[in-house]
Amino acid sequence: MMQAFLVMTKDINEELLNLIRALDSPKHVIFVHVDKKTGDFDKESVIKNSIHSDIVFVPRIDVTWGGFSQVRAELSLMKVANSYGTFGHFHLLSGEDFPVKSNNQLDTFFEEHPNNNFLEISQRIPNQNKDRFKLRYEQYHLLQDKFIGRKHNVFKYIDFASCYLQRYLGVNRTRHINIQSGANWFSLNQDLLSYIIDNEKWITKYFKNTYCPDESFIQTLIAETSFVKTLYKEGKENLRFVDFYWKAKHNLTPRYLKLDDISLLDDKSYFFARKFNIEVSDVFLKKLKILENYYEK
């Protein structure tokens, strides 16, 4: 069964090209969303790094961290990939992600789990700060996409002041839905991916003008559907290794992996990891190619 890889990247760099080289396989199609603010780029410089896989570029969105534009970029990838053909699973990755298993290992595992979906649903995010989590979705964040992003500027304070005012006035967008959350990175089968696409209007209604909707819109959409029963290990495992640390107050972020993390290649719990820089992914790529040759024998 073919596998689809949905890659969201801020720009075209060597790290992205290493990711494409690692995933290159006759059984893989790689769909790439490049942030629109990056401007023009040479598509051929990307395509030439793939010998076997088709590289498909999807309509571009100007993506702002924490805004609904991130959801729109994901949906752009999903819609193009879903219409492209039949796939066993669709794997959402960032340009700083990398596989930690060979293509043969990856293909075999997902072919053995055709009816499973790999998506985190947990209390990890709300447990960091329950009140701030409620503010993400109960009230309208009208400035996030246009003026804020990751910035701690005057608009951010205006935005949160507006949310507290909305709360005082009784505004609550989540009265009729069961908000769930988890990591946005996933490996989903075609049934669930099609369901998400078919519910784009619902997603827009409840998650446009919210904060970090990419970490909640799929989890909430399927919360009361039969798809919950398809989640691998009850939504506790999305097969991604991420090691978070507090970069600043209210800024929990993944650390960049080191050469010592090469042991991930032997850890059966993970198939992908983040974040990678070019020096570390170079080493992982060489090791993965050795593994690929081993499993082909």
What is the length of the chain? 297
Looking at residue 251, its pLDDT comes to 73
Residue 63 pLDDT > 60: yes
What does the alpha-carbon distance between residue 37 and residue 16 come to, in Å, rounded to a whole number? 17
Provide the pLDDT for residue 296.
Answer: 57
Name the E strands within the chain: 3-9, 28-34, 54-57, 89-94, 97-99, 187-188, 240-242, 244-248, 251-254, 272-274
Banded pLDDT at 158 (limits 50, 70, 90): very high
pLDDT per residue as tens digits for the range 65-117: 999 999 999 999 999 999 999 999 999 999 999 999 999 999 999 999 999 99
The token pair at 264 is 């991930």
| pTM beyond cutoff 0.75 | yes
Q: What angle do CA 73, 75, 79 make, to 5 degrees?
A: 125
12-26, 139-153, 271-285: least confidently modelled range: 139-153
Taking the C-alpha atoms of residue 118 and residue 103, their distance in angstroms, rounded to an integer, is 18
C-alpha–C-alpha distance, residues 15 and 33, integer Å: 15
Mean pLDDT within 131-144 = 95
Find out whether 265 and 291 touch, Cβ atoms under 8 Å: yes
Tell which residue, 208, 188, 212, has the closest CA to residue 200: 208
* Predicted pLDDT at 247: 79
The arithmetic mean of pLDDT across residues 171-176, rounded, is 95
Q: What 3-state DSSP class applies to 77?
A: helix
Which phi and psi angles does 193 have, rounded to 5°? -60, -40
pLDDT at residue 294, rounded to an integer: 58
Query: Computed from CA positions of residues 217, 220, 223, 224, in that sequence, does the dihedral angle turn out positive or negative?
Result: negative
Q: Does the pLDDT at position 61 exceed 70?
A: yes
Which whole number is the average pLDDT over 42-59? 97
Q: Is it the case that residue 260 has pLDDT exceeding 70?
A: yes
| Percentages of the chain per state (helix, strand, coil), in multiples of 5 | 45, 15, 40
What average pLDDT is seen over the chain? 95
Q: What is the mean pLDDT of residues 118-145?
A: 94
Is the model's pLDDT at 295 over the cut of 60?
no
CA distance 259 to 104: 23
Residue 30 has a pLDDT of: 98
**What's the pLDDT score for residue 147?**
86
Q: Which residue carries 């990890």 as its tokens?
A: 124
| pLDDT score of 238 more than 60 | yes
- pLDDT tier for residue 59 given thresholds of 50, 70 and 90: very high
Give the model's confidence band at 246: pLDDT under 50 very low, under 70 low, under 90 confident, else very high: confident
Distances (CA, A) of 83 to 114, 179, 194, 197: 19, 29, 10, 11
Domains of the chain: residue spans and CATH: 3-121+183-296 (3.90.550)
Residues forming a β-bridge with 241: 273
What is the share, in percent, of the chain residues with pLDDT greater than 70?
98
Query: Residue range 199-212: average pLDDT?
Result: 97
End-to-end CA distance of the chain: 20
* Helix (H) or strand (E) run with residue 284 in it: helix 278-296
Average pLDDT over residues 153-170: 94
Q: How far is CA 231 from CA 50, 59, 223, 247, in A?
A: 32, 29, 11, 31
